[in-house]
Structure 1
Amino acid sequence: MTVLILGLILFLGPHSVRIVAEPWRTQMLHRLGEKPWKGLYSLVSLIGFALIIWGYGLARYNPVVLWQPPVAMRHIASLLTLFSFILLTAAYVPSNSIKARLRHPMILGVKLWAFAHLLANGMAADLVLFGAFLLWAVLDYRAARERDREQSISYGQGKLMPSIVAVVIGTLLWAAFAFWLHRWWIGVAPFGG
């Protein structure tokens, strides 16, 4: 569990700077420059991500079961992750009304993804991993909305066709991940098989 926790600190730490230290981040950006700052941020995040994967894998060898979720939770989690993929996609499709209305769909997608996985899994490592991401997403969304208010950022109205594109691409990505990639990358097949 130590490797997993270290990975979470290294991954979520840089992603939390805007939540807890926006003035420091701005100062470092000016001092280092944008490219070196992003390079350092990315390097630490990638190391953290690798440690999360490794640490979670190690924790699954010696599972500590906290509860046994009902089978229905897997179905609910599948539905929630579908919406999560649509939200994640909406963060990158320009001029869509999902982003215009929700403002930070990627963070909301992470929030849904983490919550869904907490519903469907009952090991201690799951609680640590997905609980950490859920807590981060709640705090980051609040901080992002506060920055929007302070800077009077407007996201416009959004358009129908880009919204449809976000939903279709998000659904296709979810299907690819749920039916193939999740088993290949994570070792668990959400729909059996």
Structure 2
Amino acid sequence: MLILILGLVLFLGIHSVRIFAPGFRDVQLVTRGENTWKILYTVIALIGLALIVWGYSIARLDPVVFWVAPAWMSHLTALLMLFAIIFLVVSQFPAGRIKAAVKHPMLLSVKIWAPAHLLVNGDLASILLFGSFLAWAVLDRISIKKRVRAGLAVDPAPGPVKWDIAAVLAGVVVYVAFVLYLHQFLFGVAPFPNL
């Protein structure tokens, strides 16, 4: 469990510098330069991600279980994940109406993904993993709202609907790939074992 916690601290910690220590980030950009800061940021994030994956896989071998979800809950999770993946894909496309409306679709994606997985994963490692990401996404969204109000950030402006259509279609394709193959391949768990 310590490996998972260390990974979460590193990964979410480096992603939280702008939330909790914007002055530190600004100093790093000035003293180290933007490229060096980005490399450092990326290395720490990748180490954290690797530790999360390793620590979670170890914790799953001997889980501390608080609840077992009923079988039907996986269908609700699957429905929520359709929206989570679509919003994640929307975040990678140029702004259309959806990105402008939700403002930060990647954070919204995390705020759907985490509770959706908590519905069907009642073990301690899952609570730590998904709960930490949920808390981070909420705090980051609050931080962004404060930066926008202070004039330090700008919400995306609406763009053409063609980007919404392309993002939704791509999101559905990614979702189907995850349901049929990628979730099992990447995480060792089939969302619907009988498919």
Q: TM-score range by the shorter chain?
A: over 0.9
2:43 counterpart residue number:
43
Q: Is the 8 A contact 1:7 1:55 kept in 2?
A: yes
C-alpha deviations, 1:45-78, integer Å up to 9, x for none?
1001000000000001001110011222211111
Q: Is the 8 A contact 1:96 1:166 kept in 2?
A: no
Give distance in 1, aligned partners of 2:68 and 2:144.
Answer: 35
1:174 counterpart residue number:
175
Q: Is the 8 A contact 2:7 2:50 kept in 1?
A: yes
Deviation at 1:155, TM superposition (A): 2.1
| 1:104 partnered with 2:104 | yes
Runs of 4+ in 1 over 4 A off after TM superposition: none
Q: Percent identity?
A: 48
1:57 counterpart residue number:
57
User: What TM-score do you get using the length of structure 1 for normalisation?
Assistant: 0.96
Q: Secondary structure at the match of 1:100?
A: helix
1:90 counterpart residue number:
90
Task: After TM superposition, list the pairs within 5 Å mapping 1:1-193 onto structure 2.
Answer: 1-151=1-151, 153-193=154-194
Matched residue type, 2:144: A
Matched residue type, 1:87: F
Give distance in 2, aligned partners of 1:44 and 1:62.
Answer: 28
- The count of corresponding residues between Structure 1 and Structure 2 is 193
Bigger mean CA deviation after superposition, 153-162 or 138-147: 153-162
User: What TM-score do you get using the length of structure 2 for normalisation?
Assistant: 0.95
C-alpha deviations, 1:28-59, integer Å up to 9, x for none?
11111011000000001100100000000000
Give distance in 1, aligned partners of 2:186 and 2:116.
Answer: 18
Matched residue type, 1:91: S
Give distance in 1, aligned partners of 2:95 and 2:108.
Answer: 18
Q: Is the 8 A contact 2:179 2:191 kept in 1?
A: yes
Q: Which runs of 5+ in 1 are unaligned?
A: none
Change (3 A) 1:187 1:154: closer
| CA-atom RMSD in angstroms | 1.1
Deviation at 1:154, TM superposition (A): 4.4
